[in-house]
């Protein structure tokens, strides 16, 4: 019982990172209609850039975290300006943005590999307290607590932003039709760029937290997140970021529990099995409202 509770806590902490990543991924998919497979590399670069600031320049971890998040957001904005916007202007169809995002993925991944080198690295141990916190007989690492708190804050903030503000209304208008949105006075360009920044910045945040929890900063960090994030968005449906976030947490729990009770080797396979099952049985997602199956 004690073990199960402890594993649940670990699962929720791991899942928080997946959920965080899924939020940004679903934001771009739902609001901009772009399946951005380069999203994982934004997370990688968030982690790499903050690591570089901490280890090479001795920057305070929290300042480096902010800088890393901003850098990831900047990559998102650049992707939008240099690749997605020209395609949008040309009405380039469904596949062109996916192909362009694969191009961005290649560029950012190659640069990340070259930048990080083959050796595994991690943030200096003094970055964040490592002394476990004891609560009701359960152990929690500070990094885990940070992940969960961050997720709760980000989900709340983004949800309020999208549903209760003028900006949220503008995003919804642009998501439906950028041209008509412009006519009713929404600055479509600025709205899209802001969404691109937010989504990529959240990915960067997820990347930094993943690197912190794993004690490992690597160039392949984003790929794992991409898959988990995709699974969360598929299963949760992309109409509401809360659905994706909830499923992201659930995937983390599922992984930790299956590693504990079934087989650690097939941890990922079980997640993907669930993903495949949902894709086949319920393609609109568990909480999906939008029609994702072709008529």
Partner 1 sequence: MSTTAWLTTLQFAGVNALFALAIYASLWTGVLSLAPIFFGAVSAFTFGYLAGVTGLSPVLCLIIGVALGAGLGAVTAGLLVRLESHYLAMATIAMVLIGRVVILNLPEYTGGATGTLVPGDLGTWAWLIGTLVVAGYVMSRLAGSRFGLAADAVREDPAVAQTLAISPRRIQFVGFMLSGALGGAAGVFQASFLQYIGPDTFYTHLGFVSLAAVVLGGAFYWLGPIVGAVVFTILPELLREPMGEYDRVVTGVLLVLIIIYMPRGLVDVRRLRLLKARWWRSRASSPSDDGPEPTDVAGPARAEAAS
Binding positions for partner 1, rule: CB under 8 A = 29, 35, 37, 82-83, 86-87, 90, 92, 94-96, 98-100, 102-111, 113-114, 223, 226-227, 230-231, 234, 265-266, 268-269, 272, 275-276, 279-280, 283, 291-294
Choice between 9 and 207, CB closer to partner 1: 207
Closest approach, Cβ 281 to partner 1, in A, equals: 10
Choice between 67 and 255, CB closer to partner 1: 255
CA angle, 130 then 23 then 83, to 5°:
115
Q: Phi and psi of 286, rounded to 5°? A: -65, -40
**At a CB cut-off of 8 Å and minimum separation 6, what does 32 contact?**
84, 175, 192, 195, 196
Closest approach, Cβ 174 to partner 1, in A, equals: 18
Would the CA dihedral through 98, 236, 169, 290 be positive or negative?
Answer: positive
Choice between 125 and 291, CB closer to partner 1: 291
Q: How far apart are CA 248 and CA 269, in angstroms?
A: 16
Closest approach, Cβ 111 to partner 1, in A, equals: 7
Closest approach, Cβ 70 to partner 1, in A, equals: 23
Closest approach, Cβ 59 to partner 1, in A, equals: 27
Choice between 90 and 166, CB closer to partner 1: 90
Closest CA to 259 of 3, 16, 21: 3
Q: How far apart are CA 123 and CA 288, in angstroms?
A: 38
Q: How far apart are CA 180 and CA 169, in angstroms?
A: 13
Choice between 95 and 136, CB closer to partner 1: 95
Closest approach, Cβ 32 to partner 1, in A, equals: 12
Choice between 6 and 216, CB closer to partner 1: 216
User: Burial level of 295, CB count in 10 A (0-12/13-18/19+)?
Assistant: exposed
């Amino acid at each position: 019982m004690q073990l199960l509770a402890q594993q649940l806590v670990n699962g929720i902490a791991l899942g928080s990172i997946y959920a965080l990543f899924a939020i940004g991924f679903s934001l771009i998919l739902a609001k901009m209609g772009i399946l951005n497979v380069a999203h994982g590399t934004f997370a990688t670069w968030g982690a790499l850039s903050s690591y570089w600031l901490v280890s090479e320049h001795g920057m305070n971890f929290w300042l480096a975290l902010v800088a890393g998040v901003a850098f990831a957001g900047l990559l998102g904005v650049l992707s939008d300006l240099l690749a997605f916007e020209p395609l949008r202007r040309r009405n380039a169809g469904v596949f062109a943005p996916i192909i362009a995002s694969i191009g961005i993925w290649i560029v950012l991944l190659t640069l990340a590999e070259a930048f990080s080198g083959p050796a595994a690295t991690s943030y200096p141990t003094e970055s964040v307290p490592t002394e476990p916190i004891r609560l009701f007989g359960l152990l929690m690492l500070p990094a885990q607590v940070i992940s969960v708190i961050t997720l709760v804050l980000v989900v709340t903030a983004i949800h309020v932003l999208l549903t209760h503000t003028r900006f949220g209304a503008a995003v919804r208008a642009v998501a439906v039709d950028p041209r008509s949105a412009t006519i009713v006075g929404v600055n479509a360009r600025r709205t899209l760029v802001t969404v691109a920044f937010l989504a990529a910045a959240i990915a960067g945040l997820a990347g930094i937290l993943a690197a912190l929890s794993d004690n490992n900063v690597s160039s392949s960090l984003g790929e794992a997140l991409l898959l988990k994030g995709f699974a969360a968005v598929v299963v949760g449906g992309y109409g509401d970021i809360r659905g994706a976030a909830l499923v992201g947490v659930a995937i983390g729990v599922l992984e930790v529990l299956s590693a504990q009770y079934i087989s650690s080797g097939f941890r990922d396979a079980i997640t993907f099995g669930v993903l495949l099952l949902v894709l086949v049985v319920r393609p609109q997602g568990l909480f999906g409202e939008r029609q994702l199956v072709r008529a």
